Structure 1
Amino acid sequence: MEEASTSNDAASISATILEEEEARKAALEEATAETILPDDLLPGVGDEEMSFKEGVQKGGVSMALVLLLLSIVEEFDRVAITVLGPDIQETLNISDTMLLGLGSFGGVVLVLSTIPFAWLADRYRRVGVLSIATGLWAGLVAFTGAVQNAFQLAIGRAGTGLGAGAKIPISPSLIADQYPIAIRARIFAAEALGRPVGQVIGPFIAGGIVLLAGDGPEDWRIAFYLFSIPALILVVAIFLLKEPVRGAYEQDAVLGGKLEKAEEEPPVRLSSAFQRLKNVRSFYYLVVGIGVLGFALVAVPTTMSLLLEEYYGYGAFKRGWLISISWAAALIAIPIAGKIGDKLFRQDPRKALWLMGLLVTFYGIFVTIGVRFSNIILLIVFYTLGNACQGAAFTQMGPTLSAVVPYRMRAQAFSLVGVYIFLMGGFFGGILTGAFSDAYGERTALTIVVPPAALLGGVLIMYGSRFMKRDISLVVEELLNEQEEERRARENPDQVPVLQVQNMNVSYGNLQVLFDVDLEIRRGETLALLGTNGAGKSTALKA
């Protein structure tokens, strides 16, 4: 009898333990379940259409116009390196790999500078930071025209990368805060026109300057001197812009008004921002997809110019107008994509990001087909279609990041896009393409690098689109929590916690160790963290 009783007790204890474990798992699943709010609570989703004119009247013309002009002028420098690359090679006696590597090195410096610039943008007037950086960039463009060897060229390209690094995190965050959600894709598209406009007229200007100067071996230098002049004018124009209120349109859409103390809140630390951004799944897949695409994006323009010079024997001016033509279709595709993007976002934000991934894939298809043709007309036609798809695709990136990332972290989010494009893909893609080019020729190099980069990049972006509503819902919840905290502070100012933690999640790689930790400590209180070894006490304090 005693043995039977003991057996029953053991079975009862085991059953109780199993029940408690099941209850614990159910509670954990409920606590960590993803919340997707209905469309009418998501900013910009289901809204009525807003005309471009009405949106610009609300945000003003000056911000969009100055940022567009800055994009055009910065593109002149990139175009000059691409179009005049063979002339620079001849003057400085450097190889394809060296030329592409130096161009990629400037991209690396640009990327590394975006994170410090994002830090500055969160603490100071963004227009002031951008103005100073533009002045630095203009000076280094002029210096590029005076270089005498590869080492000096490396310094010049690194300097221009440093100066241009501010635009990546600052320009899109300014647009997101300056213009209504309903026209963001169209405003981002308008700013994105700077690249094709610069690409269309830049080669003519760069090649024309060299031609007018006599088309001598050293005349490429004059183009860089002249391109620095409009940049210096923009330094003043940017500085005079009015700084927009951060997150104003999201606050109006979700809360019906602006938070009273939003501007008084301290900036989010970079480490905290990166930890938060890890939980934004659509952002993660977007930046990784763009990083993979970067293997092709950075290397293709220079390699194409080398192809035109080596296979067809074209000089600087002819290369210039051929590359110019290849961006003409983008001038039409980008505004169309912006209008479609705003419409898709109102219907379902996931469709807008899916469109971006699809266009990235078509970019790779068209470029790969084009470089296999020896006929120059067919090559340029397909390259033109590829550039149109690329330009149209990137009109959706700004609105997507502005929607899924909390407004206090936008600058950091956009800085990471640059990191992934140039550091993950651009630098290594440039070196890889240059090595293949030296060994097998430019056609083979592009055929090897472009298809996998564009296909995999596009698929990753399309996959990430499924998480957009979930990520926008998280942004809305954070705004509502912030509003609730302001209400509590008004009603019970003595009960405002001196330390507050909400929804803290920490993981080491794929192992998550803290799940949605909440705690508050008020003035005069003492809090003790108790737990076994490895429970996460030290991790919580560090986080």
Structure 2
Amino acid sequence: MVEARSSTGTASGGGRVLAILLLAYIFNFIDRQIIGILAVPIRAEFDLDDKTLSYLGVVFAIFYSTIAIPIAWLADRRSRINIIAASIAVWSLFTAACGLAQSYGQLVVARMGVAFGEAGGIAPSYSLIADYFPKSRRARAMAFFSLGIPIGSALGIFFGGWLATQLSWRSAFIIVGLAGVPTALLVKLVLKEPVRGGLDNDAGKVSEPAPPLGTVMRALAANPSFWLLSFGAASGSILGYGLIFWLPSFFNRSFGLPLTDVGWFYGSIVLVGGVAGTWLGGWFGDRLGTNRPGRYALIPAVCFLITAPSFAFGLFAPNLYVAWLLFALGQMMALAWLGPVISAVQHIVPPNMRATAGASFLFINNLIGIGFGIYFLGWLSDRMKAEHGEDSLQYSILYGLAFYLLSSLLYFLAARRLERDWYRAPA
């Protein structure tokens, strides 16, 4: 069954679909990022150094990124709704299983399961949203969906810290994991499949059947904008994922905040700064980029130039009030890329390639961002411990901020290329 279009050009029920997918994405990031604040008690219980602890991110990134592409290829051919619902159930149950781990090895295996589930949730959602909202509203729709990143991350930090303090880190995993299961039923029972590509031409025709995976891969490989957008996002995500994992430990070590206070302090930074940046990035993307595709990349290019110094000064802030303002500004600028860039990735391929293109983008972004970012900051912190002692993590993050500048450069290059690589449906 497919949805019809409303008189405004949006597929009927688009607002409902977006709200439910946002809820799913919130749980996705609660389950993904709760490990950041729970890393403090996990590290203590299993007696881990920073490099060993960072393997949780490496394993997650490898499983998530590798499995996402074949699942997305299937989503270009089969029901995206069924795939998303099954994925939510899997990642939620494996998050709860993390709380049953009695060793570090068991915890690593459980996080593999979380990665397997989350691999099937995002790229099919991108494709679904693109078929519910017209081009002129897609950046805002993608930005609204992407609010799940700061909201879910903030809630993971809030409740992870509070539950770990009041109960235990194992209870935190079990409670937040089981809380996400009903969302899978909501997706399955309420959402409907829209017409693929129905909003990309005036006739509202169903798009051509999805081509073989090799055809999609060759098309992406020959598209310079895809590579610039993907590696621009990956460079920024090295710090995006690295910071969300390591900043709770930084605030605990360098500012002396107990776990509960870290939850409220850093959680509020992620929530306020992240929501503002994500929404404003999408709004500016639609306002500036609908008729000028290059501006979809120009927005994050400028924002990342502001992000790096904001976080740098925040690391050495004289007090918590100044630190909060600087980190909130940095968080806002760091997430402004989501709406414009995700929308741009959906626009450089035909509708029947969108889920696979989105998964390929996420493969690069997450494999480098989660895997390398979390590991790199932990590895560098251990290497600098002899020189900086307990402040080694602070300096590790400082030097890592150079990746934001690299991301800005790649987006400036993408801004000059997007117009030529933009997909335009045949008349």
TM-score by length of 1: 0.72
Match of 1:258 in 2: 204
Deviations 1:357-381 (A, max 9, x none): 2223322232222113353332332
- Inter-partner Cα distance in structure 2 for 1:67 and 1:424: 25
Query: What is the deviation of 1:425?
Result: 4.0
Match of 1:320 in 2: 263
Match of 1:174 in 2: 128
Identity %: 25
- Any stretches of 5+ residues in structure 2 without a counterpart? 1-6, 385-391
RMSD between aligned residues:
2.0
Match of 2:211 among 241, 251, 268: 268
1:435 partnered with 2:386: no
CA contact (8 A) 1:111 1:165 kept: yes
Aligned to 1:392, the other structure's residue is in SS state coil
- Inter-partner Cα distance in structure 2 for 1:288 and 1:116: 21
1:470 partnered with 2:424: no
CA contact (8 A) 1:282 1:466 kept: no
- Any stretches of 5+ residues in structure 1 without a counterpart? 1-52, 214-218, 484-543
Match of 2:346 among 383, 390, 402: 402
CA contact (8 A) 1:292 1:456 kept: yes
The structure whose RCO (Cα within 8 Å, separation 6+) is larger is: 2
Match of 2:221 in 1: 278
- Inter-partner Cα distance in structure 2 for 1:67 and 1:199: 16
- The one-letter code sitting in structure 1 at the alignment partner of 2:269 is S
- The one-letter code sitting in structure 1 at the alignment partner of 2:288 is L
Query: What is the deviation of 1:109?
Result: 1.1
Q: Which runs of 4+ in 1 moved over 4 A?
A: 53-59
- The one-letter code sitting in structure 2 at the alignment partner of 1:125 is S
Deviations 1:190-217 (A, max 9, x none): 111112222333322222223433xxxx
- Inter-partner Cα distance in structure 2 for 1:291 and 1:308: 25
Deviations 1:126-150 (A, max 9, x none): 1101111111111100110111111
Match of 2:387 in 1: none
1:354 partnered with 2:305: no
Map 1:433-512 to 2 at 5 A. 433-440=377-384, 441-451=392-402, 453-472=403-422, 475-476=423-424, 479-480=425-426
TM-score by length of 2: 0.91
1:225 partnered with 2:174: yes
CA contact (8 A) 2:34 2:153 kept: no
Match of 1:422 among 363, 366, 373: 366
Match of 1:298 in 2: 241
Distance 1:166 1:361, change over 3 A: farther
Query: What is the deviation of 1:169?
Result: 1.4
Match of 2:29 in 1: 75
Distance 1:330 1:426, change over 3 A: closer
CA contact (8 A) 1:361 1:457 kept: no
Query: What is the deviation of 1:313?
Result: 2.9
The structure that has the greater radius of gyration is 1
CA contact (8 A) 1:199 1:323 kept: no
Distance 1:158 1:359, change over 3 A: same
Aligned to 2:295, the other structure's residue is in SS state helix
- The one-letter code sitting in structure 2 at the alignment partner of 1:135 is A
- The one-letter code sitting in structure 1 at the alignment partner of 2:99 is G
Query: What is the deviation of 1:55?
Result: 6.5
- Inter-partner Cα distance in structure 2 for 1:106 and 1:57: 35
Match of 1:154 among 80, 83, 108: 108
Aligned to 2:366, the other structure's residue is in SS state helix
